[in-house]
Structure formats: C-alpha cells, structure tokens
Amino acid sequence: MTIDPKAHLRLARPTRDPAAIERFYVSGLGLEVLYRGAGNAPGEHDLLMLGWPGAGWHLEIVGGANLTVRPSPTAEDLLVLYLSGPVDDTLVARLEAAGGRRVSQGPYWDRWGVTVEDPDGYRLVLSTRSWGNAG
C-alpha cells in the first residue's frame, strides 16, 4: 500500500483549557470549529477540531475531565504556516488579544517570521516564506 500524498493530516494534542485554545485559534488565527464533541463516557475526551474547510489538515484538540496527559510543549514543538508574504501586524495583535504571547524562536525563525505561543505554550510560527523556498 502506498500513502496518497494528498491524504488529510490531523495534528492532535491535549489542552488544559479548550475554551482558551479555541479563542486563540478561532478569534486570533481565523480557523473555524469543524467539530465539537463532549467526552461523556469513561475514557472519552472532549474533542475540538479546528481548521479551514477544504484544507488538507486540521488541529484536533483533546481535553476534559478524562484527560490523563497534560500538555508538555517544548520550544521546538512548532506549527509553521508558510504565508508567502509579510506577517500582518493586525493578525499578531489578534493572536495576542486572544491569549497568545509573542516569543523569540531563534535567529532563523525570527528572521523569517513571527512566533506566538498559544495558551498551552505550543508555538505557532507565521513564516514570511513560501513552502517552496523554505529550508
């Protein structure tokens, strides 16, 4: 079996505060809630899927009372969006107003974009580069 390079990609991670993460990625970044579910049975989690309709990827955020794993981000846990142009200061301000915190990601990423930590400490890099010239 071969994997279709156009297969949908889901990035899943835990959160302490689903409402804060929703605010950051929806109000701040502009993603949409694609699905929301409550984990009512033992072993189930609250589930929040965020993304853009028609995109080949989405974020799956898990949380709730049954969550056994807590977020443990490192400075290298990055979600990089290649914008192919300048980072809009208004977008960065919205991310900060929605609970984000602008941080330095080191010389490379500071040169090629802006990094904002989400409320759990995971880092979103808004890169001025396009995927074709990244490296």
Is residue 54 domain-shared with residue 85, that is, in the same domain? no
Q: Report percent pLDDT > 90 for the chain.
A: 74
Three-class DSSP category at 14: strand
Residue 123 placed within a domain: yes
pLDDT at 135: 58
Per-residue pLDDT reduced to its tens digit, 62-97: 987 777 888 899 999 999 999 999 999 999 999 999
Residue 73 placed within a domain: no
103's enclosing H/E stretch is strand 101-103
Is residue 83 domain-shared with residue 121, that is, in the same domain? yes
* Across 20-36, average pLDDT: 97
pLDDT at 134: 60
* Across 21-41, average pLDDT: 94
User: Residue 130 and residue 120: Cα distance in Å, rounded?
Assistant: 27
Residue 36 placed within a domain: yes
**Number of domains into which the chain is organized:** 2
* Across 11-35, average pLDDT: 95
Query: Tokens representing 93?
Result: 């301000």
Residue 2 placed within a domain: no
Selection from 13, 9, 93 nearest residue 51 by Cα: 9
Residue 124 placed within a domain: yes
Is residue 53 domain-shared with residue 26, that is, in the same domain? yes
Question: Whole-number mean pLDDT of the chain?
Answer: 92
Structural domain range at position 58: 9-63
Widest distance between CA atoms in the chain? 47
* Across 104-133, average pLDDT: 94
DSSP 27-80: III--EEEEEE---STT--EEEEEE-TT-SEEEEEEESTT--S-----TT-EEE
Residue 47 placed within a domain: yes
User: Residue 23 class from Cβ within 10 Å (0-12 exposed, 13-18 middle, 19+ buried)?
Assistant: middle
Is residue 58 domain-shared with residue 13, that is, in the same domain? yes
Is residue 120 domain-shared with residue 93, that is, in the same domain? yes
Is residue 18 domain-shared with residue 59, that is, in the same domain? yes
Q: Which of 37, 63, 89 is the last residue of a domain?
A: 63
In the chain, the amino acid numbered 28 is G
Instruction: Look up the CATH number of the domain holding residue 115.
Output: 3.10.180.10
